[in-house]
Structure 1
Amino acid sequence: MKLGVHLVNFTLPGGPESIGPTLAATGTAVEEAGLDNVSFMDHYFQLEFLAGANDPMLEGYTALGFLAAHTSTVELQLLMTGVTYRHPGLLAKIVSTLDVVSGGRAALGIGAAWYEREHRALGVPFPPLSERFERLEETLQIVRQMWSDDDGPFVGKHYQLAETINSPQPLHKPHPPIMVGGGGERKTLRLVAKHADACNVFAGQGAGPDEVAHKLAVLREWCDQEGRAYDAIRKTVLYNGLVGPDRAGGAAFVEEMRALADVGIEEVHVMPLQGDPVGFVRSLGEHVVPHLSQL
């Protein structure tokens, strides 16, 4: 099983001046520990259930560009890009740029967005959920077109592009992996089956192996309807529980991951909720990575 670290807390003991050096050190620790993926959230404000809106939050793709210069092997992405935050043509260009400067290590994680407060606060349109899903599907179509030889127009209900020129193209072929996040059974998992290379559902508190297995069964049904090979889709989870030596030297977490691997999960993303991401990653390398690599 592969392992990624999802960085969500930027309230550090040294204040904002310490964020850059800490991220650089985290990048070094990630590769020394043998992790496979580093991700950030895509938000303007810190989430209220983690801290407060006035606490530090980084712009995700800028932060990934910084990490690209401080890593050399790990995959880089947001969990998840909100479809409302950037025009899809610009989003394709941003991810292409990240892929080129990182040597082919970018991935596009994307979802329908949900945090209304930050949209209203900064004047970003926040359409109803049904429209956000329509925009998400058009965005998936646009990025795939921009990452292809077709540089002609795109005409959709919400987006109209006169030319889909994208130079330079991503280094990752045929294109950066596309991950659609969420476990919605009527819309989200259908979009995974139709357009994505990976899914990402929740696991941990409130979502055990049985719930994850159910989501994957629904995904398989959508794959059958869309004529898509279920095995071609990478199955991943964002884990919201405790990780590391505070759980019996990591053994309890590893056993939980074994149960998820048994239902088909190939990759887990975990979060350091407190302000020591370097120590958290080093602990993963010592207590977790050697065991997960055997699953």
Structure 2
Amino acid sequence: MRVGLQVPSFTWPGAPGSIGPQLARIARTADEAGFASIWVMDHFFQIEVVGAAEEPMLEGYSALSYVAGVTERAKLGTLVTGVQYRHPGILLKTVTTLDVLSGGRAYLGIGAGWYERESRGLGVPFPPTAERFERLEETLEIANRMWSGDGEPFEGEHYRLEEPMNNPPSISRPHPPIMVGGMGEQKTLRLVARYADACNLFAYGGPDLIRHKLGVLERHCEEAGRDYGEIERTALGTVHLAPGQMGADDVIGTCRDLAGAGIQHAIFNMPNVHDIEPLETFGQEIIPAVTDL
């Protein structure tokens, strides 16, 4: 099993001046500890399950570019970009740039989006749910075309690209992995089966729910003529390594449960990640213990 780190909050002592140095310290420590990936949310306001909307929030791709400059090994991505935030052609150029400058370490994490408050707050159109899924599917089509070198015009219902040129090309081959985030059985997991290289599920529902969702994904793969084994199966959860909260053995047990449910890449956020010690515990105790799961 691979282990990833998500950093969803930047509400740290001394902010905003402390945010850059602290993020660099977190990223370097995670990279050296053996985390396979480092992720940030693609939000502009903080989300309610993490904190108040007014809390500090960095723009995702700027933050990842900064992280790329202080790390060497970990893959980098957003969990996940809402499709309404960026035009597909610009999004693909942005992710390609991250991939080139990081030496081939980018993911494209994407989903249908849901946070209406930040869209309305910043003047970003927020279409109805059905239309956002239509736009997501077109964006996935465009991603596969642009990253294959297909420069022919694209004419969709929502997007029209006359010349989808993408130079320089990505370093990742055949392209940065496309991860679709979400648990929806009828739309999201069907799009994973048709277009994506990875899925991202929530670990909070427990192994039985994950096992069920992966079973749905496998059926969608069968219907699409897709090899289920080609899709990287990831899950996002929270751990709190601290006295009176969780210990290394608890996290190892969580990883074991996720692996048993079919997850290959467990991504965790930590409310006390800025203390650094939890990252060191992962590197010394947890990552070595779960590598062979």
SS of match in other structure, 2:254: helix
1:102 corresponding residue in structure 2: 102
What's the counterpart of residue 126 of structure 2?
A: 126
Question: Shift of the alpha carbon at 1:119?
Answer: 0.5
The SS at the match of 1:239 is strand
Query: Match of 1:161?
Result: 161
1:203: Cα distance to partner? 0.7
1:76, 1:132 → 2: CA distance? 25
Amino acid at match of 2:200: N
The answer on whether the counterparts of 2:240 and 2:272 sit within 8 Å (CA) in structure 1 is no
Residue 71 to residue 220, structure 1, CA distance change in 2 (3 Å) = same
The unaligned stretches of length 5 or more in structure 2 are none
Shift of 1:248: 5.5
Map residues 1-295 of structure 1 onto 2, 5 A cutoff.
1-204=1-204, 207-243=205-241, 249-274=247-272, 276=274, 278-295=276-293
SS in 2 for 1:288: helix
Q: Which runs of 4+ in 1 moved over 6 A?
A: none
Q: How far is the alpha carbon of 1:146 from its aligned partner?
A: 1.0
- Look up the equivalent residue of 1:262 and give its one-letter code: G
Amino acid at match of 2:276: V
TM-score computed with the length of structure 1 as normaliser: 0.96
Identity of aligned residues (%): 50
Shift of 1:25: 0.9
C-alpha distance in structure 2 between counterparts of 1:276 and 1:158, whole Å: 41
Supply the distance in 1 between the matched residues of 2:239 and 2:72 (Cα, whole angstroms): 29
Amino acid in the other structure paired with 2:254: E
RMSD: 1.4
Tell whether the 8 Å contact from 2:97 to 2:170 is kept in structure 1 after alignment.
yes
Distance 1:125 1:51, change over 3 A: same
Q: Does structure 1 retain, via aligned residues, the 8 Å contact 2:4–2:268? A: yes
1:291 Cα offset (Å): 1.2
Deviations 1:169-210 (A, max 9, x none): 100010000000011000000000000000110113xx1111
- Give the 3-state SS of the residue equivalent to 1:5 in structure 2: strand
Q: Secondary structure at the match of 1:119?
A: helix
Whole-Å separation in 2 of the counterparts to 1:44 and 1:248: 30
Structure 1 contact 34–289 (Cα < 8 Å) conserved: yes
CA offset digits 1:63-106 (Å, max 9, x no partner): 00001100011000000011000000000000000000000000
Superposed displacement of residue 277, structure 1: 5.6
Contact between 2:149 and 2:165, CA under 8 Å: does it hold in 1?
Answer: no
Shift of 1:283: 2.5
**How many pairs are equivalent?**
293
1:245/1:197 CA distance change after superposition, 3 Å: farther
TM-score by length of 2: 0.96
